[in-house]
């Protein structure tokens, strides 16, 4: 009996010993697994951080290249007669306007599709279609217009490249400019010239216009007059009939004032 008791105690002691060993092994495995998972998670975070840094660097490089390209275009336009960089950039913000009565030009003022043109481009029209440089067509709605200043505001749906209004008060006589438009139906034509005079009177008797020797023809109406920075400093409005290279463009500060007035008027009408 004593032998059996000792044997049982030895047996259970052996079981206990192996149970402790197994438990220790399990704890070791769990510890190794936890360490491995922590290292994997840390490596994942480090890898994601590196990917994010690389993505930011690529995006920054792309933006810097775009900015550098724009700056090079401005420098070339300022120091020579080469407007190629400015034209390549700004032509994306110019549109052809075709109605059932006539056609002309406009330019995109906001990324969500507000377009400025001359009011007389839309005279007598029942509808207006907008054609962008990439040959997409959009149906336009009329937001409002000012017949005295000869400005109209249109709206199309979508996302677009916009042109920036420059400060017309800073424009100097002799400064080089270009016009982009659709003279005689020749879409997206660029012509070059200078500012010949400031504050010329229009048919409305208001001294709001630049005189320019940029070649303007029917179809240029409503198109932008652009400086060497790629900014719109005027909207091409009219020329003297029978004269060579004597055109007139409404100064950009009056474009901005008129658009603000149109927008405010339409807002008040909507509220009422």
Q: Report yes or no: 209 and 251 within 8 Å, Cβ to Cβ.
A: yes
pTM over 0.85: no
Of 183, 19, 24, the residue nearest 94 (C-alpha): 183
**What's the order of all strands across the beta sheet hosting 128-131?**
137-139, 128-131, 94-99, 103-108, 114-117, 151-155, 141-146
Q: Which two tokens stand for residue 263?
A: 């927008």
138 φ, ψ (degrees, to nearest 5)? -135, 145
Out of 90, 150, 168, 252, which one is annotated catalytic? 150
How many beta carbons lie within 10 A of that of residue 223, not counting itself?
A: 35
Q: In which residue are the tokens 């060579």 written?
A: 244
**How far from the centroid of its chain's Cα atoms is residue 184's Cα?**
28
Quick: pLDDT tens for 234-255. Answer: 999 988 877 778 999 999 999 9
Of 6, 200, 175, the residue nearest 77 (C-alpha): 175
pLDDT of res. 4 = 45
Of 210, 238, 160, 194, the residue nearest 81 (C-alpha): 194
User: What does R_g of the chain's alpha carbons equal in angstroms?
Assistant: 35
Of 101, 162, 163, 108, the residue nearest 131 (C-alpha): 108
How many beta carbons lie within 10 A of that of residue 215, not counting itself?
A: 16
Q: Does domain 168-257 have CATH number 2.40.10.10?
A: yes
Whether residue 120 lies in the annotated active site: yes
pLDDT < 50 positions in the chain = 1-6, 72, 75-76, 79
Q: Which two tokens stand for residue 23?
A: 């438990």
Between CA 155 and CA 36 the distance in angstroms is: 59
pLDDT of res. 24 = 63
Between CA 55 and CA 60 the distance in angstroms is: 8
Out of 90, 120, 168, 252, which one is annotated catalytic? 120
Whether residue 261 lies in the annotated active site: no
Q: Which two tokens stand for residue 201?
A: 């009177």
pLDDT of res. 6 = 45
Out of 90, 168, 221, 252, which one is annotated catalytic? 221
SS3 of 145, please?
strand
């Amino acid at each position: 009996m004593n032998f059996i008791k000792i044997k049982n105690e030895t047996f259970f002691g052996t079981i206990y010993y192996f149970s402790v060993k197994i438990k220790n092994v399990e704890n070791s495995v769990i510890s190794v697994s936890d360490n491995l998972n922590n290292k994997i998670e840390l490596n994942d975070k480090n890898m994601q951080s590196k990917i994010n840094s690389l993505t930011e660097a690529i995006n920054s490089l792309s933006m810097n290249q775009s900015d550098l390209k724009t700056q090079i275009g401005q420098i070339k336009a300022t120091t020579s007669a080469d407007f190629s960089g400015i034209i390549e950039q700004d032509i994306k913000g110019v549109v052809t306007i075709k109605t059932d009565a006539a056609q002309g030009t406009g330019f995109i003022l906001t990324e969500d599709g507000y377009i400025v043109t001359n009011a007389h481009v839309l005279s007598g029209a029942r509808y207006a279609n907008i054609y962008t440089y990439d040959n997409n067509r959009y149906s336009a709605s009329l937001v409002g217009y000012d017949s005295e200043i000869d400005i109209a505001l249109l709206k199309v749906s979508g996302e677009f490249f916009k042109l920036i209004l420059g400060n017309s008060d800073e424009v100097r006589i002799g400064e080089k400019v270009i016009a982009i438009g659709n003279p005689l139906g020749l879409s997206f034509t660029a012509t070059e010239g200078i500012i010949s005079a400031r504050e010329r009177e229009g048919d409305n008797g208001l001294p709001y216009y630049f005189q320019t020797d940029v070649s303007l023809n029917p179809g240029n109406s409503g198109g932008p007059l652009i400086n060497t920075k790629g900014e719109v400093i005027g909207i091409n409005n009219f020329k003297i009939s029978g004269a060579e290279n004597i055109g007139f463009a409404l100064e950009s500060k009056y474009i901005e004032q008129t658009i603000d007035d149109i927008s405010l008027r339409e807002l008040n009408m909507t509220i009422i």
